[in-house]
């Protein structure tokens, strides 16, 4: 069954009534948005997408059209997390470029309206694929979808961020070092147990950062399920979930995008490709996928790719730990947050396996 698109990672079109702990003043929201949308609502139905580990995401049906509302979660939040304002900003700036993004309608930074800041964007009628093995697609479709994802990432990294008005979007210098420090801090703030592999990576990564710097728009969470594909083709309609985006090193995005090659197909909530016969499925091998990106961006190859893979898995482990911490507190955005949070240890262990031979 092909999945319909929405604007949250790890979720298809399925929505439910607004879950406990995520409610807000719907009538107040309707009144607030009445003059801020292209049309006045004839009705105002709101349901919550089942998925989304970070920011609660809702489907808003006004009768004339549908929108997606993204808001910060309730409760105390980690510093620099859940930056929906950055998503809104980057959507506005990238709209004129070749990078596919949703059309945004309104950003509200006043927490008094519904309890936290939020923004509204157009709903996209397309497909989101949660399973990287693409079980419901043909061999030819799988090949085309992966090629389109690869092309989209290369297009993003080729954007002149200064010309796009994103020169203030981040401080690109020393990006990798600052990211290691940031995610170490975030992990420590949500730490609930000792995970030896994370502790080892926290010590090893800062001392082994590859020499040289590159600057581009770094998405920060570039994965298959964060893309919306056209209903009847492999064309990418939009790249979603930009809350981690900044100016930084593009190879961090590439390694993160390739994380599925490290994970088995049974990985909760994420899936993976490591135990599958990729040629028979029409999915490129990791080396071929990386080579295609290099051709599109004029590279001869990627040195120190193991470092970037280790860093990406470490960072995702830190994110998973944050999800786990929120699940224990009862403020997680998705009902399967506990299961996702338990990925912190295996993700870190896999990350360390990439570079342990160098230790």
Tokens of 63: 């009768």
pLDDT of residue 277: 98
Q: How far apart are CA 36 and CA 31, in angstroms?
A: 10
Helix (H, G, I), strand (E, B) or coil at 107: strand
Among the listed residues 129, 158, 156, 157, the one whose alpha carbon sits nearest the alpha carbon of residue 145? 129
pLDDT of residue 49: 85
**Residues 206/184, Cβ–Cβ less than 8 Å:** no
Q: Long-range contacts for 210-213 (Cβ within 8 Å, ≥24 apart)?
A: 210/176, 210/303, 210/304, 210/307, 213/172, 213/173, 213/174, 213/175, 213/249
Q: How far apart are CA 328 and CA 249, in angstroms?
A: 33
Q: Which helix (H) or strand (E) holds 238?
A: strand 236-239
pLDDT of residue 1: 32
Tell me, what DSSP letter sits at residue 127?
A: B
Q: How far apart are CA 110 and CA 24, in angstroms?
A: 14
> For residue 232, how many other CB atoms are within 10 A of its CB?
9
Q: For the chain, what is the radius of gyration of the CA atoms?
A: 20
Non-local CB neighbours of 104 within 8 Å, separated by 6+ positions: 88, 91, 92, 119, 120, 121, 122
Helix (H, G, I), strand (E, B) or coil at 66: strand
**Residues 47/13, Cβ–Cβ less than 8 Å:** no
pLDDT of residue 52: 54
pLDDT of residue 75: 60
The model's pLDDT over 193-252, given as tens digits with 9 standing for 90+, comes to: 899 999 999 999 999 999 988 999 999 999 999 999 999 999 999 999 888 899 999 999
pLDDT of residue 209: 97
Q: How far apart are CA 119 and CA 5, in angstroms?
A: 18
pLDDT of residue 76: 57
Q: Which helix (H) or strand (E) holds 199?
A: helix 196-204
pLDDT of residue 85: 87
Helix (H, G, I), strand (E, B) or coil at 30: helix
For the chain, domains (ranges, CATH) are 15-122 (3.30.200.20), 139-358 (3.90.1200.10)
Q: What is the pLDDT along the chain (359 residues), one digit of tens a residue?
A: 333 333 333 334 578 898 888 889 999 999 999 999 998 888 999 999 876 556 889 999 999 999 999 998 766 555 455 578 888 999 999 999 999 999 999 999 999 999 999 999 999 989 999 999 999 999 999 999 999 999 999 999 999 999 999 999 988 899 999 999 999 999 999 888 899 999 999 999 999 999 988 999 999 999 999 999 999 999 999 999 888 899 999 999 999 999 999 999 998 888 999 999 999 999 999 999 999 999 999 999 999 999 999 999 999 999 988 888 887 777 766 667 777 778 899 999 999 999 988 87
Place of tokens 């309206």: 113
pLDDT of residue 8: 35
Partnered with residue 106 across adjacent β-strands are 120
């Amino acid at each position: 069954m092909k999945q319909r698109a929405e604007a949250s990672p790890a979720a298809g079109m399925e929505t439910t009534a607004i879950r406990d702990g995520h409610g807000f003043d719907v009538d107040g929201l309707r009144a607030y948005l009445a003059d801020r949308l292209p049309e006045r609502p004839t009705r105002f139905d709101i349901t919550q997408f089942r998925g989304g580990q970070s920011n609660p995401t809702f489907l808003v049906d006004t009768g004339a059209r549908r929108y997606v509302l993204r808001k910060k979660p309730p409760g105390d939040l980690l510093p620099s997390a859940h930056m929906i304002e950055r998503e809104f900003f980057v959507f506005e700036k990238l709209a004129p470029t070749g990078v596919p993004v949703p059309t945004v309608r309104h950003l509200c930074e006043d927490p008094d309206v519904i309890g936290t800041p939020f923004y509204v964007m157009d709903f996209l009628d397309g497909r989101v694929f949660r399973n990287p093995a693409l079980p419901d697609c043909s061999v030819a479709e799988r090949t085309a979808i992966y090629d389109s994802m690869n092309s989209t990432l290369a297009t993003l990294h080729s954007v002149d961020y200064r010309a796009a008005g994103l020169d203030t979007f981040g401080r690109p210098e020393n990006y990798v070092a600052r990211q290691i420090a940031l995610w170490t801090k975030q992990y420590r703030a949500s730490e609930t147990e000792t995970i030896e592999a994370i502790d080892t990576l926290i010590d090893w990564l800062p001392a082994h950062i590859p020499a040289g710097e590159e600057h581009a728009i770094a998405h920060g969470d570039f994965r298959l399920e964060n893309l919306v594909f056209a209903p009847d083709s492999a064309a990418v309609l939009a790249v979603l979930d930009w809350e981690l985006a900044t100016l930084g090193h593009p190879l961090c995005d590439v390694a993160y995008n390739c994380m599925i090659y490290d994970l088995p197909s049974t990985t909760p909530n994420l899936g993976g490709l490591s135990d599958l016969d990729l040629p028979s499925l029409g999915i490129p091998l990791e080396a071929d996928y990386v080579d295609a990106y290099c051709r599109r961006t004029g590279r001869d190859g990627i040195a120190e790719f193991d470092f970037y893979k280790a860093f990406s898995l470490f960072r995702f482990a830190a994110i998973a730990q944050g999800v786990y911490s929120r699940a224990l507190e009862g403020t997680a955005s998705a009902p399967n947050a506990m299961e996702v949070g338990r990925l912190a240890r295996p993700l870190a262990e896999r990350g360390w396996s990439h570079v342990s031979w160098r230790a």
